[in-house]
Structure 1
Amino acid sequence: MANHKSAEKRIRQTATRTEVNRARVSRIRTFLKKVETAISSGNKAAAGEAFKEAQPELMRGVSKGVLHANTVSRKLSRLSSRIKALA
C-alpha cells in the first residue's frame, strides 16, 4: 500500500482514469459492433451510416490515448473496404 500522500493520490487518479478509459473503449466497441452487424445484414446504406457514426468515436479514442492511431486507421480502412464491397 502507498506510504506517501502523493502515491495515494496517484492511486485515486489511476482508478478514475481506468474507469473512464474502460467506458470509452466499451463505447467504441459498441459502435464497431453496430457497423459489423450492418455489414453482415448486407445493408450498404445502414452500414455506411453506422460507419459515419463510428468514425468520430474511434478518432476520439486516439486523441484521448486509449487506442493507437495506426490501430484505428487499420480498423477504419478494413471496415470501409468491406462496406464498399457490398453490392
Structure 2
Amino acid sequence: MANTAQSKKRARQSEARYDVNKARRSRIRTFIRKVEEAIASGNAEAALAALRAAQPELDRGVTKGILHANTVSRKMSRLASRVKALATPAS
C-alpha cells in the first residue's frame, strides 16, 4: 500500500487512468467488432463504412497510449485487405 502523499496520489491517478483506458479499449474493440460483423454479413458497403469509422478510433488509441502503433497498423491492414477482398468480385 502507498505510504507517502505522492505515492497515494499516484495510486489514485493510476486508478482513474485505468478506468479511462479500459473504456477506450472497449470502444475500440466495439468498432473492430462492427467491421468484423459487416465482413461476415457480406455487405461490402457496410464493411467499408465501418472500417472508415474504426480507423480514427484506432489511431486515437495509439496517440493516447492504449495500443502500440504497429499493432494498430497491423489490424488496419488486415481489416482493409478483408474489406477490399469483399468489395472485389471473386474471379
* Superposition TM-score tier, normalisation by shorter sequence: over 0.9
Q: Name the counterpart of 2:60.
A: 60
Query: Matches of 1:84 and 1:7 in 2, distance apart?
Result: 50
Does residue 1:38 correspond to 2:43, yes or no? no
Measured after TM superposition, the shift of residue 56 of structure 1 is 0.2
Q: Name the counterpart of 1:71.
A: 71
Identity score, percent: 64
Q: Segments of 4+ in structure 1 off by > 6 A?
A: none
Which stretches in structure 2 are left out of the alignment for 5+ residues? Answer: none
TM-score calculated relative to the size of structure 2: 0.94
Q: Name the counterpart of 1:28.
A: 28
Measured after TM superposition, the shift of residue 3 of structure 1 is 1.1
Query: Matches of 2:55 and 2:26 in 1, distance apart?
Result: 15
Measured after TM superposition, the shift of residue 2 of structure 1 is 1.2
RMSD across aligned positions (CA): 0.5
Which stretches in structure 1 are left out of the alignment for 5+ residues? Answer: none
Q: Name the counterpart of 1:19.
A: 19
- What are the Cα deviations for residues 17-48 of structure 1, in whole angstroms up to 9, with x where unaligned? 00000000000000000000000000000000
- What are the Cα deviations for residues 29-81 of structure 1, in whole angstroms up to 9, with x where unaligned? 00000000000000000000000000000000000000000000000000000
Does residue 1:48 correspond to 2:48, yes or no? yes
How many pairs does the alignment contain?
87
**Matched position secondary structure for 1:2:** coil
